[in-house]
Structure 1
Amino acid sequence: YFLIPFHVLLAVLWCSFSLVCWACDGAESNWGCWRWQFCSSDDNYCATTYIGGGIGQYSSQSISKGCVPVCPQAGINIGIAAASVKCCSSFLCNISGASSVQANHLVLAAGILASFLYLFGQRL
């Protein structure tokens, strides 16, 4: 049997396909995104989509990754919810979880405190 070293296999795959990206659909964290996707010739980018939000102890997030032909790069963070799309264009470049737009816990706490003060301030 002839065994091909892993680095040689990676080099062949990299040259054979235009782009290879990490892929997952609705994973709760980056640990659920260890699958590779070989992009078609129409795909120019690897994309990571992050959606998350929460109040207090209750929070959730969803990460999706894969190949896309056009990059719809965007992001929004309103304290209790955040969403972002980040793109890159090299071999397995979308390893991060677009964490720069994840909901900030300090902003969440301040928003909840302001809501309670507004709602119950007249009774205190």
Structure 2
Amino acid sequence: MKAFLIALLVAVLCAKQASSMFCYVCENEHSNWNCLKTYKCEDNEKFCLTTYSSAGLGKDMGHRITKKCSADCPETNVNFGVAAYSTKCCSTSLCNFSGANSIKMSYTMMFLGVVASLICVIKAGL
């Protein structure tokens, strides 16, 4: 009986752990409420990836959210003022619940835009 229990213990400890990573998935949705479908990731996919993009000004601002499983984690954060693109990764099941990825303001780009506008106004003689 002891030999059987020891063999069972060794088998359990040596067994390969199955992937049980789940992520929320959606493609180019306008709202995070449309991104609550769950999906079991493949064994090589170790991250949940959320991509958030926006473009436009004021009331014409459009937002898109994409969520999926991913084998790598390409975190990106680009903001041009009128267009922005951001990706965020996490590595636990269903960790990509929020669609509010942080797209940080690029104060350098905003400053350059203001300076360029002032130069145009001065050149035009207004």
Confirm or deny a common fold (TM above 0.5).
Answer: yes
- Give the CA deviation at 1:118: 3.0
Equivalent position of 2:28 in the other structure? 26
**Structure number with bigger Rg:** 2
Partners of 1:52 and 1:102 within 8 A in 2: no
Distance in 2, Cα, partners of 1:117 & 1:99: 34
Kindly report the root-mean-square deviation, in angstroms, between the aligned alpha carbons of the 2 structures: 3.0
Distance in 1, Cα, partners of 2:47 & 2:37: 16
Equivalent position of 2:97 in the other structure? 95
Distance in 1, Cα, partners of 2:123 & 2:60: 24
- Give the CA deviation at 1:119: 5.6
Runs of 5+ in structure 1 lacking a partner? 1-14
* SS in structure 2 at match of 1:91: coil
- Give the CA deviation at 1:51: 1.0
Q: Name the stretch that deviates more: 114-123 or 85-94.
A: 114-123
* Amino acid across the alignment from 1:52: S
Q: Relative to structure 1, is the Cα distance of residues 40 and 55 closer, same or farther in structure 2, using a 3 angstrom cutoff?
A: same
- The aligned runs of 1:1-124 (5 Å cut-off) are 17-101=19-103, 115=117, 118=120, 122=124, 124=126
- Give the CA deviation at 1:102: 6.5
Aligned residues: 107
Distance in 2, Cα, partners of 1:40 & 1:17: 7
Distance in 1, Cα, partners of 2:38 & 2:124: 56
Partners of 2:88 and 2:101 within 8 A in 1: no
Q: Name the stretch that deviates more: 51-60 or 66-75.
A: 51-60
Runs of 5+ in structure 2 lacking a partner? 1-16
After superposition, the C-alpha distances for 1:7-40 in whole angstroms (9 at most, x for unaligned) are xxxxxxxx96420000000001211101001001
* SS in structure 2 at match of 1:31: helix
TM-score by length of 2: 0.69
Partners of 1:80 and 1:103 within 8 A in 2: no
Distance in 2, Cα, partners of 1:81 & 1:118: 22
